[in-house]
C-alpha cells in the first residue's frame, strides 16, 4: 500500500463509523473491502479499528448507553491545534459536539457541527496520524460536503482550515473543489445538498471509497447483508454507486476513469 509522506493540515486524515450493529459492520466491511476488524478497546468505549494490509484505515464503535448510534460515517480533518480550531469554529457559527480531548498518546480529537448543520471532526496527531493513503482500492477516494448553503460552507472551511477552492459551473450548478492549501491536491468538493434526486437537504459529508470492479463490489455488498440504493452510473469521473451497510450507513463506491 502506498503511504502518504505526511498529512497536510486541513486534509482529511481519518473516518469512523457510528453503528447500531457492530457485529454486522465488522462482517460487512470485511466482505466488501477486505478489511480486518481489530478487537475493540474497552478503554475507549469499545472503539475499534479496521485495518488493510496491517494499516489502520477506519474506526468504528457502537451505540453509547445514553445515545443511540446514528449509523453514519464521520470525516476528520488534520489540525495542529484541535482546541484552538474548535474555538475558532464556534466563533464562526459552528456548534461543539465534542470538546477537544486527548485519546491516550494517539492524538487529540474534537467533534463539531458546521454552520450549515454538517457534523465533522478534528484530529491533532500524536503518535497516530490517520489513514496511510487515499485513492487505493478499499480506501477513500473523494470527500464531498452536501450542504444547503454552499457559499456559507466555502467561506467557513476556507477560514477555518485554510482550504483553497475552485468553482466549476455547469449550467445552474456550481461544484466547488477543495484542497489543503495552495499546493495540495484536490481531495473533495462542496455541492448543493438538493443537487441529487433523493438526497436529503440536511448538510452532511459523504465519503466515496474506491473499488476495482463495481459490479463485483455491489454483489459483495448485498451478499454481506447490505443494499444498493443507486447505480452503478457512468459519469465523467468514473462509475459511481450508492450502497448501504446492514444498519443503513451510506457507502458510496467509485471506480475512477471514464467509461
207 SS3 class: strand
The continuous run of DSSP H or E covering 228 comes out as strand 227-235
Distances (CA, A) of 73 to 1, 20, 60, 111, 207: 23, 12, 9, 13, 8
Which of 68, 60, 120, 63 is closest to 96 using CA atoms? 120
Domains of the chain: 12-125 (3.10.180.10), 140-256 (3.10.180.10)
End-to-end CA distance of the chain: 26
- Is 154 within 8 Å of 81 (Cβ atoms)? no
> Which grid coordinates are listed for 65?
448507553
Which residue has 453509547 as its cell numbers?
A: 64
Q: How confident is the model at residue 181, as a pLDDT?
A: 83
Q: What pLDDT digit, counting tens, does each position of 98-129 carry?
A: 999 999 999 999 999 999 999 999 999 999 99
Which residue has 458510496 as its cell numbers?
A: 252
DSSP letter for 43, please.
Answer: G
Greater confidence (172 vs 129) lies with 129
The pTM (predicted TM-score) of the whole model is 0.92
Residues 6+ apart with CB under 8 A from 67: none
- Is 89 within 8 Å of 10 (Cβ atoms)? no
H-only helix segments in the chain: 22-33, 82-91, 150-161, 214-223
106 SS3 class: coil
pLDDT at 168 over 90: no
The continuous run of DSSP H or E covering 206 comes out as strand 204-210
Give me the percent of the chain exceeding a pLDDT of 90. Answer: 76
> Which grid coordinates are listed for 28?
460487512
Give me the chain's average pLDDT, please. Answer: 91
DSSP letter for 186, please.
Answer: P
Range list of β-strands (E), 79-139: 95-103, 107-113, 119-125
Distance CA(186)–CA(183), nearest Å, equals: 10
Greater confidence (197 vs 182) lies with 182
Q: How confident is the model at residue 18, as a pLDDT?
A: 96
Q: How confident is the model at residue 65, as a pLDDT?
A: 84
Give the least confident one: 2-11, 52-61, 84-93: 2-11
Count of C-beta atoms within a 10 Å radius of residue 33? 23
Mean pLDDT, residues 157-163: 96
Q: What pLDDT digit, counting tens, does each position of 27-73 carry?
A: 999 999 999 999 988 877 889 999 999 999 999 999 988 889 999 99
Backbone dihedral angles phi then psi of residue 140, each to the nearest 5 degrees: -60, 145
Mean pLDDT, residues 145-161: 95
pLDDT at 6 over 80: no
pLDDT at 259 over 90: no
- Is 247 within 8 Å of 31 (Cβ atoms)? no
Q: How confident is the model at residue 237, as a pLDDT?
A: 83
- Is 48 within 8 Å of 42 (Cβ atoms)? no
84 SS3 class: helix
Amino acid at each position: 500500500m502506498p503511504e502518504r509522506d505526511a498529512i497536510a493540515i486541513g486534509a482529511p486524515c481519518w473516518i469512523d463509523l457510528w453503528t447500531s450493529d457492530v457485529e454486522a459492520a465488522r462482517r460487512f466491511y470485511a466482505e466488501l473491502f477486505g478489511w480486518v476488524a481489530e478487537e475493540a478497546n474497552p478503554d475507549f468505549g469499545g472503539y475499534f479499528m479496521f485495518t488493510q494490509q496491517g494499516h489502520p484505515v477506519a474506526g468504528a464503535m457502537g451505540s453509547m448507553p445514553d445515545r443511540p448510534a446514528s449509523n453514519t460515517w464521520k470525516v476528520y480533518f488534520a489540525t495542529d491545534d484541535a482546541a484552538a480550531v474548535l474555538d475558532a469554529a464556534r466563533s464562526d457559527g459552528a456548534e461543539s459536539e465534542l470538546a477537544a480531548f486527548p485519546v491516550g498518546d494517539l492524538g487529540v480529537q474534537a467533534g463539531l457541527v458546521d454552520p450549515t448543520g454538517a457534523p465533522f471532526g478534528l484530529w491533532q496527531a500524536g503518535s497516530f496520524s490517520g489513514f496511510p493513503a487515499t485513492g487505493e482500492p478499499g480506501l477513500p477516494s473523494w470527500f464531498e460536503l452536501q450542504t444547503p448553503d454552499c457559499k456559507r460552507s466555502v467561506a467557513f472551511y476556507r477560514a477555518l482550515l485554510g482550504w483553497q477552492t475552485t468553482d466549476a459551473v455547469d449550467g445552474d450548478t456550481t461544484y466547488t473543489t477543495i484542497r489543503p492549501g495552495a499546493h495540495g491536491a484536490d481531495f473533495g468538493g462542496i455541492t448543493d445538498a438538493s443537487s441529487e434526486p433523493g438526497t436529503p437537504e440536511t448538510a452532511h459529508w459523504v465519503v466515496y471509497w474506491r473499488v476495482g470492479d463495481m459490479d463485483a463490489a455491489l454483489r459483495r455488498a448485498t451478499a454481506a447483508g447490505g443494499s444498493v440504493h443507486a447505480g452503478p452510473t457512468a459519469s465523467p469521473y468514473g462509475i459511481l454507486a450508492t450502497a448501504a451497510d446492514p444498519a443503513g450507513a451510506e457507502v458510496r463506491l467509485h471506480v475512477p476513469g471514464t467509461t
